[in-house]
Amino acid sequence: MKWIKKSVLFILIDTLIILGSTISVSFLFNDSSALLSESAYLFFLFWSTFMISFYLFHLYSRSWKFAGNDEFKRILKGALLSIILIGFIQMILNFVQFMTLSIQIILLTWLIIVTGLYSLRLVLGAIQDNRGQLNKKGKRTLIIGAGKAGLLVLKELRKNVNSPLYPIAFIDDDLEKQHFDFYGVSVAGTRKEMVHVIQQYKIETVIIAIPAAPGSVITKIMNICKDHNVEVKILPRIIDIVNGQISFNMIREVKVEDLLGRPPIKLDLLGISSYVKDRTILITGAGGSIGSEICRQLSDFEPKKLLLLGHGENSIYTIEKELSQKFPHLLFETIIADIQDRKRMEEIFLFYRPNVVFHAAAHKHVPLMETNPIEAIKNNIFGTKNVAECAHKYHAEKFIQISTDKAVNPTSVMGVTKRIAELVIQHLSTQSNTHFVAVRFGNVLGSRGSVIPLFKKQIEEGGPVTVTHPHMTRYFMTIPEAVQLVLQAGSLAEGGEIFILDMGKPVKISELAKNLIRLSGLTPDQDIQIIYTGIRPGEKLYEELFTSEEGNTGSTHQLIFIAQPADFSKMNLPSLLEELENAIYTDTSTSTIKEIKCLINKIVPSYQSNA
């Protein structure tokens, strides 16, 4: 209701400005006998056209508290539209010879009104800018970036009298902004002069106010601040800043995700909505890191119903409670089931008839699966086979499997089982109307299996931080980024594709550990030791996203690539899978496990077991 009151107030004030302007012009150009009728016509003409124009350009639903160039451009566009409408009306009236006005009267009235309306908003913006006082007892703060985000930070700090931060200066690489003063705070230099500015102004805190800053820039700033004992804070990325408004609570500590920062992902929202909206969608592994994020992001696309399937009751309970709170109007059901249970899968598909399936359920822990290979095979291969065959049998429209870069030239049981799962759905796609696809990507930050939680725990305990090898690299992506691209890949699915996400540049695990130590306010190899423990069973020094046979081609999305489909003419996949299934449900002694690995090797010749 508050915004409605403000809109009505603005309309009333604008009406008074238009009324005063039209009376003044009429008084100058007309005698007293014609003054009333001329003023009334002039007022109605300008008031109606300005109201229509300002409504069309949403000027009564804008916040003038944070007015910038965009808002004032809208005023100009609205004013230009109004004069065009008036010109059109006058042409009609001239034709019928009714109440014609001279061009001088029209232009002068228009100019006075525009000046009045523009000045009103300029004054209101200035009043808002001057409200509040900076807390000069707060920490001396340097704001990196004097753009719109940086100015919004400054305005927010001015509003919060009790803010613990006292902005002293800006830094910006735009040479035209150097030494300019913004609300009493000047631009003191570029990033190249950051060390000098920190020393000159005795800076205690730095706020990075560049929402699209790449990770490399954030890392450099953080390292400079670490060397000079300055704390670093950062604004959220662009996707988290809504309507150009920033609250003090948004200014947070730098996270490791910021250091791996990538440009914001542009999504084809219409394409995603076309296969998600009003559909029944099944998510297996819905309580896991990827599965639960798929649930969150799908909820924004108005699905008919979400089916949250998982084997672990606690994780499903957690995502159930979260969705209930965040999306009270969302229709969803929770299902506790094991994807290895074919009968149960049949029951679920028969009853719910899902249109789209996101298959995220899998065993993913590399060393654990090396010591429990049979369970990896049962779950990752035959569990996937169960769900995929049910999707085919009950006519699902799309089946999107979550895969991994560890499926490429695999050296682990986990990796090779995920590769066979890819082959299962590709083979099924050759005989089904369901669009079966897999989406392959690397490590995700924040997942349960991620190295980040382990490093954080080791740092909290005082070290050491354990890294397997100084040159080990991995591809990293945040969970929301990965899921955004998974949803996008689903919109591109035609059947049989393996989509590979552009993971950016691979990151050294040792550098990741060092950055986490620095973010904790400590120094690597001084406060916290880093110990190299050696590569574990099934691990590789680096990961790949494509096999040499697959190659890759681009898709309509710049961050999604497509691998060439497998050639099934050289293998009898159903027969090999049947042989493997018979083997794992009989004797699983050491000798048999070796035989099972030999069978796996027949399906995936590039598999090289470390055992």
Q: How confident is the model at residue 413 (pLDDT cuts 50, 70, 90)?
A: very high
3-state secondary structure 517-557: HHHCCCCECCCECEEECCCCCCCCCCCCCCCCCCCCEECCC
- pLDDT, residue 392, reads 95
Quote the pLDDT of residue 61: 61
Sequence ranges of the domains in the chain: 2-130, 139-254, 269-603
- Asked if 438 contacts 459 with a C-beta cutoff of 8 angstroms, the reply is no
399 backbone φψ class: left, alpha, beta (φ>0; ψ -120 to 50): beta
Q: Above 80 in pLDDT, residue 214?
A: no
Q: Supply the DSSP symbol for 425.
A: H
User: Once rounded to an integer, what is the mean pLDDT over residues 97-123?
Assistant: 78
Q: Which amino acid is at 309?
A: L
Across the chain, what does the average pLDDT equal? 81
pLDDT given at position 243: 39
Residue 343: is its pLDDT beyond 90?
yes
The whole-number average pLDDT for the span 454-462 is 83
Q: Residue 513 is encoded by which pair of tokens? A: 């550990």
CA 15 to chain centroid, in Å, comes to 42
Name 530's bridge partners.
465
Q: Which helix (H) or strand (E) holds 95?
A: helix 69-96
How high is the pLDDT of residue 317?
94
Specify the CATH class of 269-603 in words: alpha beta
- Which of 95-109, 190-204, 586-600 has the highest mean predicted lDDT (pLDDT)? 190-204
Which of 431, 337, 429 lies closest to 383, judged by CA?
337
Is there a contact between 409 and 369 (Cβ–Cβ < 8 Å)? no
Tens of pLDDT, residues 288-301? 989 999 999 999 88
Kindly tell me if the per-residue pLDDT of 52 is higher than 80.
yes
Rounded to an integer, the average pLDDT of 86-107 is 74
Q: How far apart are CA 256 and CA 262, in angstroms?
A: 12
User: What is the structure's pLDDT at 391?
Assistant: 96
**How many Å apart are CA 504 and CA 351, to the nearest integer?**
42
Q: How confident is the model at residue 356 (pLDDT cuts 50, 70, 90)?
A: very high
From 18-22, 28-32, 477-481, the region with the lowest mean pLDDT: 28-32
DSSP 3-state of 181: strand
Per residue in 368-403, pLDDT (tens digit) is 998 899 999 999 999 999 999 999 999 999 999 999
**What pLDDT sits at residue 22?**
83
pLDDT at 546: 57
- Percent share of the chain, pLDDT over 70: 79
365 burial (CB, 10 Å; 0-12 / 13-18 / 19+) is: middle
pLDDT of residue 134: 59
CA 17 distance to own-chain centroid: 44
pLDDT at 335 over 90: yes
Q: What pLDDT is recorded for position 67?
A: 52
pLDDT band for position 561 (50/70/90)?
confident
Query: Between 361 and 452, whose confidence is greater?
Result: 361
- The catalytic residue positions are 406
User: Nearest CA to 400 among 522, 570, 527, 285?
Assistant: 285
240 closest CA partner among 220, 257, 222, 223: 257
**Greater model confidence, 125 or 523:** 523
Between 608 and 238, name the one with better pLDDT.
Answer: 608
| Tokens coding 89 | 């009306």
Name the pLDDT band for 66 (thresholds 50, 70, 90): very low
* Residue range 20-30: mean pLDDT, rounded: 78
For the cut 80, the answer to whether the pLDDT of residue 264 exceeds it is no
Report pLDDT for 90. Answer: 78
Give the least confident one: 93-97, 123-127, 248-252, 492-496: 248-252
Q: Residue 344: its pLDDT value, please?
A: 96
**H helices within 131-241, ranges in order?**
148-159, 194-200, 215-227
Q: What is the pLDDT of residue 240?
A: 44
Q: In the predicted model, is pLDDT for residue 503 greater than 80? A: no
Contact 526, 398 (CB under 8 A): no
- More confident: 24 or 336: 336
pLDDT band with cut points at 50, 70 and 90 for residue 238: very low
Residue-level pLDDT at 267 = 63
Residue 146 contacts residue 155 (beta carbons within 8 Å): no
Dmax (CA) for the chain in angstroms is 113
Most confident of 27-31, 275-279, 348-352, 606-610: 348-352
Rounded to 5°, angle at Cα 453 from 233 and 283: 105
- CATH 3.30.470.30 describes domain 139-254: no
Predicted pLDDT of residue 348: 96
pLDDT computed for residue 510 by the predictor: 86
pLDDT greater at residue 545 or residue 323: 323
- Is the peptide bond between 464 and the residue preceding it cis, with omega within 30 degrees of 0? yes
Where residue 232 falls among pLDDT bands split at 50, 70, 90? confident
* Candidate from 73-82, 220-229, 307-316 with smallest mean pLDDT: 73-82
Distance CA 611, CA 594 (A): 9
Bigger pLDDT: 66 vs 99: 99
| Low-confidence winner among 186-195, 231-240, 297-306 (lowest mean pLDDT) | 231-240
Q: What percent of the chain has pLDDT over 90?
A: 24
The sign of the torsion formed by the CA atoms of 307, 313, 315, 317 equals: positive
